[in-house]
Structures are given as C-alpha cells and as structure tokens.
Amino acid sequence: MSHSLTLTTACVLSFSVAMSCVIMNTNTVLIKDGDDLITRFTMERSPDQILVDANVAVGQFDQVAFSGWDKRAGTIEVERAFPVCVNADGKQAVLMMTGGNVSDALKKAGVTMDTDDEINCEESKPLCFGMSINVDRVEYAVVEVKESIAYSKEEKESSKLFEGDSKIVKGKKGLKVISYLTKIVNGEQVSSNLIGEQVKREPKNEVKLLGVKEIPVTTTTTTQAPVTTTRAYVPPPPPPVAGNGDMISPVTPSKPLEFDENGVPSGYSSVTSGQASAYSANAGARTAAGYPAQVGYIAVDPNQFPYGTELYIVSADGQYNYGYCIAADTGGFAGGARTADLFFNTVAECMSFGVREIIIYVL
C-alpha cells in the first residue's frame, strides 16, 4: 500500500512538472489576416512556422509584420497584396501593392510628374484593389499664325498728270501675327485659344491718280506763215532721280540736263509725240550715221530729225524713261506710222517694250 501511494505521487509530481514546463514555454500569438483574427497557443517562436501551423498561406507579394515577443505574447499581421495599374508614357505597369497611396504607386512604377502633367486622381488618395492610375503628359506652346491685311482703293488728284490721264499706284497688303496658346496632351493638340494679335505692317492702299494739269500749247513756224498747234499727249514720268538716274540710255549729254518739277527737261526747243518700236543688233554693228549700234543711238526719219539731233524720250505711259539719245540710224521704217525705233541690248528687252506711245523733246 505504501509502495503504490509513493508511485502515484511520483507520477502526479512528474505530470505537474511537465505541465508547468509546457505552460512556461507556451506562446500566445494573435494573427491578423485582413478582417480575420486568429489566436494561437504554441511553443513555436518562428513567425513563419507559426503561420504554417495555423494554415495561413502567404503570397509572393504579401507582407508579414511581427511585433516581437512581450512576455511570451506577440502579434503577426499579414498584409495582402492587391493589383494596381499605372498608365503613363504609352506604357502600363501592373503593381502588387499592400497599401500606401497614389504617390507611392507612381514612385514604385518609376513615374515622375512634371509641373503641367495631369493625373486622374489625387496623389494622396489611398490605394485599393484594381485601381487604375492614368498620367497625361501635358505641355503648352505658343503658335503664331501670319495673316495678310487687305488694302483699299482710293482716288486722288495729281498735278503731275495732264487732264484726262490717270495712273495706278499699286497697293500693298498689310501683315498681322495672331498668337494662340495650344494645349498638347500626350503629343496631340487638344485645344487652341487666342491670346493676342499684332499688326506687323499696315496695308498701303491702291491709289488711282487723276490728272488735273492743263495740257500745254506749243507753237511751230514754217517759211510761209506762223502756225500754232496744240498737241495733246500723255505727260512724262516723275522727275528722274538726280537728273538722269532713271535713264535707260547711258549716253552722256553734251551739256548737263536740268529738269522741272514734272521731269520735263528744261530748255528744249520743241516737243512732239508719236509711236515707237524697239530693235537690237549684233555686236560690232554700226548705225547709218556711223555711230556704234548701242543703247542711246536711235533710228528716226532723218527728214524729221537729222542725224546728230539730240533728243530726250519718255514713254507716254510713264513706264520707260529712255532719256538722252541721238538720232543716228534710219532703218526700213522711215516714212511709216512710227516716229522712232529705240535701240535695246537684247531681244527680250525689245519684246518687253513692244510698241508704245512716246514723247520726244528736241534739245
């Protein structure tokens, strides 16, 4: 009896000691998995093994946080990863995130934002499952467009033109620059707003000059009796620059020429009008009077203008100022309808001149 009691007592004591050891080495662990809370009593100290023993699976992108042991108690928190899409620069990045905000996702995707760039949500907005973040690259540019400004037409009286005559002074369009502010999103223009307009050149009106100058009267005499004739003709062009700067003829007058305010040479002996054509000749050719065939030596009817006569010729339409020249040739037109044949260097110049009314001042 005494032996049995002793054995029983020894077993109880051993069990008590064993239980005390178990109790002393047991850890209390709280596992937080989303909304799930799991309490585990375990002698295991490795958080990973504790999760395995609790049948809590952890994915590749999930995050596990362990608080550490405090008097054999600890907390394991499992943060589950969820997908977030970031669309920028024509590319899409799918991120597995366990939390954070939009700014964190952009940083993880390597996307930086410039000043004018736009995003479809606030950067401080918390991330959630399946969120799509779209970044638009935005830039602004000023575009300038040139536009012409139409000119008007007007009429003015001119004391330099004879009565009944007119002349057109061509107009010129103006120029303005219109500025637009354009918005470009991801390389494509989405808007354009007017921001300014500047006139670079004012238009110049087309002017029709109407002659108001009285037609002059010239008197010629014959051996029989004085005869007074009135010749109506188109006036010469505006006064030449510096006396003869606009002259086509390079021939130097025997004495300097002077002009009045209308471009008419002073001191001429007589004036007549007529029709002129143009001609040219091969290099080295000479005129009927022995002069070299060149600009400034013209063909005339020697019965009207003897060889060597000094003349000053302009076209009646004001387009040509042939200038000082010498009667030096006859040609085959003498006695015809034309009064003179003006020499030019090239056939092209002759064709450009064609046949024109001219005014001839006999110097």
| pLDDT in the model for residue 21 | 55
| pLDDT in the model for residue 355 | 92
The DSSP bridge partners found for residue 196 are 179
| pLDDT in the model for residue 359 | 94
| pLDDT in the model for residue 254 | 84
pLDDT tens sequence across 49-80: 999 988 999 988 998 999 889 888 999 999 99
How far lies 263's CA from each of 217, 228, 255, 257, 268, in Å? 18, 25, 17, 11, 12
More confident residue, 135 or 21: 135
Core vs surface per residue 247-271: b (16+ CB within 10 A) or e: bbbebebeeebeeeeebbbeebeeb
Dihedral angle of Cα 315, 321, 323, 325, to the nearest 10 degrees:
-50
Mean pLDDT (whole number) for 127-150: 94
More confident residue, 220 or 211: 211
pLDDT tens sequence across 233-266: 444 444 433 334 478 999 988 888 888 888 888 8
Is residue 177 within 8 Å of residue 144, measured between CB atoms?
yes
pLDDT tens sequence across 281-336: 888 889 988 899 999 999 999 989 999 999 999 999 889 999 999 999 986 666 57
Mean pLDDT (whole number) for 349-355: 92
- Residue 218 pLDDT exceeds 60: no
Least confident of 2-6, 38-42, 219-223: 219-223
pLDDT tens sequence across 79-125: 999 999 999 999 999 999 998 999 999 999 999 999 999 999 999 99
Cα separation, 234 vs 100, in Å, equals: 93
